[in-house]
Amino acid sequence: TAHEASLGDGPYVDEEVLSLRSHLPAEGEEKKDFDRMKRTLLERVFAVDHAVRHGRLVKHLNKEKLLSIAEEEEGYSPPARKQSNTETGLEGPRGLVIEGAALESLLGDRELEELLFAVASTCDSVIACRVSPAQKAQLVLLVRRYVEPEPVTLAIGDGANDVGMIQEAHVGVGISGKEGQQAVNASDFAIAQFRFLEELLLVHGRWSFFRLSIVVLFSFYKNAVMAGCLIAYSGRNLYSGTPLFDEWVIAVLNFVAACPIGAFGLFDRCLDKDYIRKHPEVYTPTRKNELMTTRVLLRWIILVFVHVFILYYLTVPTLASGGGITPAFSGLMANENRNAPGDGEGGDLKSVGLVTFTCMIILLSLKVVFESRSIIHGKWPAFTFRKNVGEGWVNRLAYTWIANAYLSIGFYLAVIYIYMTFGRFGASSFSPFVDTTYHALHTRSLNWMIILITPVAGVAIDIAAK
C-alpha cells in the first residue's frame, strides 16, 4: 500500500508499486518528477480522475525519474524512515478529554466555542465523557459550524441518548443492542455490531458512492434524451406540439429504463473488497468528490446532445420520407408475388416514432451495461432441487441480464404488442396505435437495420470519447 511504501518496507519492482512510489510526496519536489506535456488531449479535457488530468501517472514520469527508478530496480534501498516526534524529543500526539460539566460552561458562548474548537482541532483525538444527549448534538454542530469547507460528519450510537447526535450529523449509524432500537430507528444505516463499521464505511460506502453517482446522472440523462428527441422533432411538426412518440409509449419509459439502472444501483461493484482494503489510494476519487463534479456533469450533457442527434437523424429523416413498400418477410424480398409488394410503407408518425423509441430503449440499456463495472452472469440453473449447490437461488440469478434483457427490452416489446390490440375493442385513445407494432417490426426490413445500427453507433461514440 501507499502507507507501506512510505515506511520503506520494500523492495518493490513491479509497475503498480512504482506507480505508488511516484505519488509519494518528496518534500515538495514530486511535481518535478512528471512531464505534463505527455498528457493527451483527451486526458487534459475529459479526464475525471485528478491524477490523470494533472499528469501524475507512471506514463507521465519524466526521463530523469524513469532512469532513477530503473537504477533502483537493480538494487532498491528503502528511504530512511522519518523519526517520530518522540524520537526527536518534540511533543508527542495530543489528546483532549473534557467532561459534560465543562462543556456546559463552554457551549452556547460564541467566543468560548471558537476557543474550544481551536484547541480540539490541534488534537489527534477528543474524548467527551459524562455528556448529555443535547451536548453530543452540540459537539457535532460545532464541527459543522467551524470547519471550512463544511465536512461530512458521521455519528455512531447505540442508545436513546445518541439520537440527537445521530440526527445532527450528515450520516448516522445506529447499532442495535441491549439499549434498545431508538438509535437504529433514527439512523441512516443500522449494523448489529460495532466491528461491522469498518466494512460499512470502507467497502460498502465506496461502492455506494460510485453506484449512486451514476444512478443520479443516468436518471437525468435518460429523460433529457427523450425530451431532446421531442424538441428535435418540433421543427418538423411546425412547432405545433405534436409529439414524436405515442403518449402511452412515453409512459413506459420510466419503468423500462429504470430496471437496468436499478439493478446497477443495487449490485454493481467497481473493485473487490480485498483489493480496496489493500490499496487505500483507491479512496481518492470519493474523498475529492471527483464523481459528481462540473466536469463529469458536462460530459453527460454533451453525451445527451450526441445521442439525441444520433437517435433523431438516423431514424426520422430516413423513415419519414416514406417509400420502402416491400415488406421484410414477404412480398418482393421473398419473391412471393411480384405484383403485390406488400404493406411496408412506413412514413407514418406512429411507425416512425415507435422505431425511434425502440432505438432509444436499446441505447439506454447498452449505456447501463457499458457503465457497469461488474456484470452479474449468475449460475445456471439458478433454480434447482439438488443439494449442496452453494448459495440459494436468490444469489444465483443473472441480475444484469434479467434487468436489461427481460425487464427492460423484453417488457417493452411485450407492452407495445399488447398495446396495439387495445384499440380493437372500441374507439378510444388506444385506437391510433392499432397494428402499429406489427406494421413497424414485421413489414419493413429497413426498420430492423436502423434498430440494429443506431444504438450501436451511439455507444460506439461514447466508447471512443472515453
pLDDT at 14 over 50: no
**CA 144 vs CA 129, 148, 151, 154, 213: distances in Å:** 20, 8, 7, 11, 24
Beta bridge mates, 129: 99
What cell was used for 20? 505508488
Q: Which of 39-43, 60-64, 230-234 has the highest mean pLDDT?
A: 230-234
Residue 118, pLDDT score: 86
Confidence of residue 1 (pLDDT cuts 50, 70, 90): very low
| Residue type for position 436 | T
Please state, rounded to an integer, the average pLDDT across all residues of the chain. Answer: 79
pTM of the model: 0.72
3 state SS for 351-380: HHHHHHHHHHHHHHHHHHHHHCCCCCCCCC
Q: What is the pLDDT of residues 71-80, one digit of tens each?
A: 766 654 544 5
Residue 16, pLDDT score: 43
Confidence of residue 344 (pLDDT cuts 50, 70, 90): low
Residue 22, pLDDT score: 43
Q: Over pLDDT 90: what percentage of the chain?
A: 14
What cell was used for 137? 448534538
Torsion sign (Cα): 61, 63, 67, 68? negative
What cell was used for 41? 488531449
Residue 331, pLDDT score: 58
Residue 19, pLDDT score: 44
Residue 341, pLDDT score: 60
For residues 422 and 6, which has the higher predicted lDDT (pLDDT)?
422
CA distance 232 to 244: 9
Confidence of residue 387 (pLDDT cuts 50, 70, 90): low
CB-based contact 5:24 (threshold 8 Å):
yes
CA distance 204 to 345: 54
| Residue type for position 84 | S
17-26, 131-140, 385-394, range with the lowest pLDDT: 17-26
Confidence of residue 13 (pLDDT cuts 50, 70, 90): very low
- Residues with Cβ within 8 Å of 86's Cβ and at least 6 positions away in sequence, in order, are 92
Residue 6, pLDDT score: 46
- Residues with Cβ within 8 Å of 287's Cβ and at least 6 positions away in sequence, in order, are none
Three-state DSSP state, 50: helix
For residues 431 and 212, which has the higher predicted lDDT (pLDDT)?
212
Alpha helical stretches, state H, 191-283: 197-199, 205-233, 247-250, 253-256, 258-267, 273-278
Residue 144, pLDDT score: 87
Residue 28, pLDDT score: 47
Average pLDDT over residues 19-45: 62
Three-state DSSP state, 99: strand
Average pLDDT over residues 367-377: 85
Q: Over pLDDT 70: what percentage of the chain?
A: 78
Residue 456, pLDDT score: 92
Q: What is the pLDDT of residues 224-276, one digit of tens each?
A: 999 999 999 988 888 888 888 888 889 888 889 888 898 888 888 888 888 88
Q: 210: closest CA among 278, 325, 121, 290?
A: 290
Q: Which of 86-90, 137-141, 339-343 has the highest mean pLDDT?
A: 137-141
Three-state DSSP state, 386: coil
Residue 301, pLDDT score: 92
Using CB atoms within 10 A of its CB, is residue 48 exposed (0-12), middle (13-18) or buried (19+)? Answer: middle
pLDDT at 390 over 60: yes
Average pLDDT over residues 457-465: 88
Residue 3, pLDDT score: 46
Q: What is the pLDDT of residues 142-191, one digit of tens each?
A: 888 888 877 888 899 888 888 889 988 888 998 887 777 888 888 888 88
Confidence of residue 64 (pLDDT cuts 50, 70, 90): confident
CB-based contact 303:459 (threshold 8 Å):
no
CA distance 456 to 440: 20
For residues 168 and 57, which has the higher predicted lDDT (pLDDT)?
168
Average pLDDT over residues 414-421: 88
Length of the chain: 466
Q: 158: closest CA among 130, 196, 192, 132?
A: 192
CA distance 47 to 302: 14
CA distance 227 to 377: 33
Alpha helical stretches, state H, 284-344: 284-287, 294-313, 316-320
Q: Which of 283-287, 292-296, 348-352, 364-368 has the highest mean pLDDT?
A: 364-368
